[in-house]
Every structure is written in C-alpha cells, then in structure tokens.
C-alpha cells in the first residue's frame, strides 16, 4: 500500500465531489479540517494516515452532500477498497466518519484517539471567525433571521425554550457554537478552541451593542 498515493488520490476525488457544494461542507472546509487534524495529531499522536483519510472523507456520508447516508457509506467503502486500503484500516476510517457525523450532540463520545482528533478539528471549524461566517451563510441559505430580538437567548436556555423561538443565526450560537469548547476531546483541541470561543463571545457582545434597543418612539 502506497499511503502517499492513496492520500493524493483521495484528495482529488473528494475535491471533485465537493466542487459545487454550498451547504457548508465545501472543499475548503475539508481542507481546513484536515490541516487542523494533522496539526493536533502532531501534539497528541495518533495514526496520521487514518486521521488524514478520515478527515478528507468525513463529510461524504452527510445527507446534505450525498443523496442518502447509505449511498455515501457505499461510495466511500468502494473507494477505500479500490485504493487497496487494508480491511482493518477501512473499518477504522468507516467507524470514525460514521460516529462523528451524527447530528444533535447527544451521541456517545468517540473513543479512538484518531476519531477524537478528527472530531475536534471538525468542531474547531464550526467556531471562531470561520464558524461565525459559516453560521451566517447557513442561515442566509435557509432564509432564517440574522437575529430575533424577541427570543432573549441565554446560555441557560432549555431545549424547549430554544425550540419555541424561531431559528436564527444568533440563536445557533446558543444551540451549538458556544457549547463546543466544553465538548472538545483532546487537550490540544481544547487549547485551540479557547481563543475561538472568546472571539465569538466578543463578537456577540459587540453585536448586541450595535443592535441597540427598541426605537425610542
Ligand atoms: P457539521 O456537519 O460540521 O456538524 P452542520 O452540517 O451541522 O455541520 O452545519 C454546517 C455549518 O452550518 C456549521 O458551521 C454549522 O454551525 C452551521 N449550521 C448548522 N445548523 C445551523 C443553524 N440552524 N443555523 C445556523 N447555522 C447552522
Ligand atoms: Ni465537517
């Protein structure tokens, strides 16, 4: 097995599949996640080949990207077989991308170091300046409000309270983005999340200042 060749070919394959992707899982997202994952692995350890392939492939089973999750899993599995990736590595990669892709935040924690690192890298790309940008892109795409001042978002908001308010970009910070720092798996991931988290808090504070109060008449 020529690992470098497999990585290069997988890179090209993923890039070609995500060329016209606009759901927030474009090729540049994959590139950022893969780079972060490799950098975290330089501190935390882990099998680089597995980490790189899992990071490159992690969004190809998302039903926003492919027709269905099953279809995505089939394509990725066939790809790894065709590249001559040994069965054991195939299974590890498969298990990483299926566990980290589940939505909702109520999943069992991932166990292997490689999975922890790829998940941390994916989460880092959801916070900080990039995370803010992706959130407003997503909200715009869905026709959501930028902010709903009636919603009175608080970090202590219950799930029910949140669900009752209409979805907005600012609301998504409380639903997901501000929680990610505490969910990081590795020390290096947590360290990297800290600065991005503070930046989002600063952004929100400035945002509310500029938003101001009701018109005075
Ligand atoms: P991932 O697959 O990386 O967990 P998602 O598919 O949930 O990401 O979302 C892609 C991007 O869109 C992320 O940056 C995410 O924070 C953002 N996003 C997801 N849901 C919402 C939402 N309801 N409002 C605003 N942004 C969202
Ligand atoms: Ni992703």
Ligand 1 binding pocket includes 138 (Cβ within 6 Å): yes
- Which ligand is nearest to the Cα of residue 31, counting in written order? 2
What integer pLDDT is reported at residue 164 of this predicted model? 57
Calpha distance 184→175 (Å, rounded): 16
Contacts for 186-189: CB closer than 8 Å, 24+ residues apart: 186/40, 186/44, 186/113, 186/116, 186/117, 186/120, 187/43, 187/44, 188/40, 188/43, 188/44, 188/120, 189/40, 189/116, 189/117, 189/120, 189/121, 189/123, 189/124
Instruction: Tell me, in angstroms, the distance from the centre of ligand 2 to residue 103's CA.
Output: 11
What integer pLDDT is reported at residue 60 of this predicted model? 92
The DSSP bridge partners found for residue 168 are 145
Calpha distance 173→175 (Å, rounded): 6
Closest atom of ligand 1 to 177 CA is 16
Q: In the chain, which residues have pLDDT < 50? A: 104
What integer pLDDT is reported at residue 23 of this predicted model? 66
Instruction: Tell me, in angstroms, the distance from the centre of ligand 1 to residue 135's CA.
Output: 6
Calpha distance 50→176 (Å, rounded): 27
Closest atom of ligand 1 to 144 CA is 24
What integer pLDDT is reported at residue 153 of this predicted model? 63
What integer pLDDT is reported at residue 104 of this predicted model? 45
Ligand 1 binding pocket includes 128 (Cβ within 6 Å): no
């Amino acid at each position: 097995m020529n690992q470098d060749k497999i990585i290069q070919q997988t890179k090209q394959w993923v890039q070609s599949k995500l060329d016209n992707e606009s759901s927030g899982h474009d090729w540049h997202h994959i590139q950022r996640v893969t780079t972060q994952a490799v950098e975290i692995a330089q501190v935390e350890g882990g099998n680089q080949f597995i980490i790189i392939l899992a990071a490159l492939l992690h969004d190809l089973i998302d039903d926003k990207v492919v027709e269905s999750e099953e279809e995505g899993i089939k394509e990725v599995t066939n790809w790894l077989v065709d590249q001559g990736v040994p069965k054991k590595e195939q299974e590890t990669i498969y298990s990483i991308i299926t566990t980290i892709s589940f939505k909702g935040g109520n999943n069992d924690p991932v166990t292997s170091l490689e999975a922890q690192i790829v998940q941390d890298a994916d989460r880092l790309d959801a916070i900080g300046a990039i995370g803010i940008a992706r959130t407003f892109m997503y909200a715009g795409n869905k026709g959501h409000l930028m902010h709903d001042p009636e919603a009175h978002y608080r970090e202590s908001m219950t799930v029910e309270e949140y669900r009752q308010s209409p979805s907005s970009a600012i609301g998504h910070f409380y639903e997901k983005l501000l929680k990610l720092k505490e969910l990081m798996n590795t020390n290096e991931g947590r360290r990297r999340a800290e600065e991005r988290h503070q930046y989002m808090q600063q952004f929100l504070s400035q945002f509310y200042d500029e938003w101001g109060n009701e018109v005075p008449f």
